[in-house]
Amino acid sequence: MQRRLGWGQDRISWKRGFGGMVSVERERHPSRRNPSLANSPMRRHPFAVSRPQSLLKILGLSFGLAVTVGNTIGAGILRTPGDIAALLPSPLLFVGIWVVGGLYALLGANALSELGTMLPRSGGQFIFARRAFGDYAGFFVGWNDWISTCASIAAISLVIGESAVHVMPLSSGAAAPIAMSVVVIFTILLLRGAKSGNIAQQITSLAKALALLALIAACFVFAGRAQVAPAPAASTVATTSMFVAFMLAAQAVIYTYDGWDGPIYFSEELDDPSRQIPRSMFYGLLTVAVIYLLTNIAFLTAVPTSALAGSQLAAGTVAQALFGGHGELLVRLVVIISLPSAVNANLLMSSRVLYSVSRDGLGIPMATRVNTGGTPTVALVSSALVAIAFLATGTFQTIIAIAAFFFVADYALSFVAVFVLRHREPDASRPYRAIGHPWTTGFVLLGSLAFLASAIVGDQRNSIYAVGIVVISYPVFRLTRPRPVPAPSDGPYL
């Protein structure tokens, strides 16, 4: 899941009242067929929750497209071009690497579309991990995904708050309260039901696309007035081999593309998941790729790569060259308009993860409550409260830095799951089968492993913390889950 962060963190990338509880499906509770099992360990497991009111199947392709675009495009596209220009000063390579990143993301969507249509349940990659590798893998992936997504909500909201402070005459101390207000506002909106979340996601994602297209248009229209500083005497490529430079650039671009898996967090809420999951990811990714390519071509039209190279905020460099002192204001407005869609998407996704983990007996029983509008209320409010706590303490940066290790590992596990389930369950229903498997799936798996290795080498301190979390997580899992949890039924939760 792409978690979109602020200027300096995008590579860590960046899916009414309470309703009542209703009966569980019979397959998960054999005691209904055999009363003698009523007191069995399986029946009396303390974490086996009763069947909650179901999520509603009211989302469609337009929502899938909106959540793909809204969750993928973040502040990364506004700053990453500066890093790419430093590594690949050739305009052809500078633009070409974004094509390569888009193709890689499409191959990833190709693999996850098979899993998403085979297991059409909301909750994200937790569903695949548990099915392929068991309860512990599901427990670990689910909780890590939930916590890191909550941290991403905090980071994205803070970027909005910081931009609002620059636009309005406010002190820098107002950024965090503004960010908290953004989280609260979207939480209240989403509590109204899945329809409200759907509408909000479509509107905010459209606003994001229009804001970026306006920035692109401005680059083309006003390119002739750009005032560019002289090119630096040396570039990063001068001391870096072309192969290493290309790999580093590819890593940055693929992180910027991350987030295309948003639709799988809502699989059972889609009208026709077997068709809408792959279409949402493919069409959404194509839309993102077009916007990314146009953005980079527009930047190069306005200024040369030498002016972008090393810029911490490429969009700011371009805007300043075009509009002088008003350039920063323009970029801040683009941020304020474009990032709310990511807040909305991450709140929706985090609530589905906690709900799904809890529904399968690996989380908090109370988090399975769903209101009449189809919102997992406790899971949503819990996600918002954790995000606000991260904002209050400022700890979200550390959480996300550590979670970057698992972000790549989760994708790798999902790609391995395609191979495992193909072998173990060859006759299972697969409305969509990954095109070109095993070659295409193997390619993105190898890429994920390479990025995982680079993440370990590039951030050894947080990687050590991540390994420590893995080590202690299993004893925690065993202590909190002393008995086997009920296996989910083979069909979707309907």
What is the per-residue pLDDT for 493? 43
Q: Which residues pair with residue 21 across a beta bridge?
A: 52
- For residues 414-427, average pLDDT: 96
Please tell me whether residue 322 adopts helix, strand or coil conformation: helix
What is the per-residue pLDDT for 292? 96
pLDDT band of 53, cuts 50, 70, 90: low
Q: Which amino acid is at 172?
A: S
- Exposure string (b/e) for 7-42, b if CB count within 10 Å is 16 or more? bebbbbbbbeeebeeeebeeebbeeeeeeeeeeeeb
What is the per-residue pLDDT for 156? 92
Query: How deeply is 261 buried, as exposed, middle or buried, from its count of CB atoms within 10 A (0-12, 13-18, 19+)?
Result: buried
Please tell me whether residue 47 adopts helix, strand or coil conformation: coil
State how far Cα 77 lies from the chain centre.
15
CB under 8 Å to 432, separation ≥6 — which residues? 113, 114, 116, 117, 274, 277, 278
pLDDT at 243 over 60: yes
Kindly report the three-state secondary structure assignment for every residue of 392-461. HHCCHHHHHHHHHHHHHHHHHHHHHHHHHHHHHCCCCCCCCCCCCCCHHHHHHHHHHHHHHHHHHHHCHH
Sign of the C-alpha dihedral computed for residues 244, 287, 124 and 106 taken in this order: negative
Provide the terminal-to-terminal Cα distance of the chain, rounded to the nearest Å.
Answer: 25
What is the per-residue pLDDT for 294? 96
Scan for tokens 């929502």, then name that residue: 63
pLDDT at 443 over 80: yes
Rama region for 399: left / alpha / beta (φ>0; ψ in -120 to 50; rest): alpha
- pLDDT tens-place string over residues 296-319: 999 999 988 888 998 888 998 899
Please tell me whether residue 60 adopts helix, strand or coil conformation: coil
pLDDT band of 244, cuts 50, 70, 90: confident
- pLDDT tens-place string over residues 54-107: 899 999 999 999 999 999 998 889 989 999 999 999 999 999 999 999 999 999
pLDDT band of 241, cuts 50, 70, 90: confident
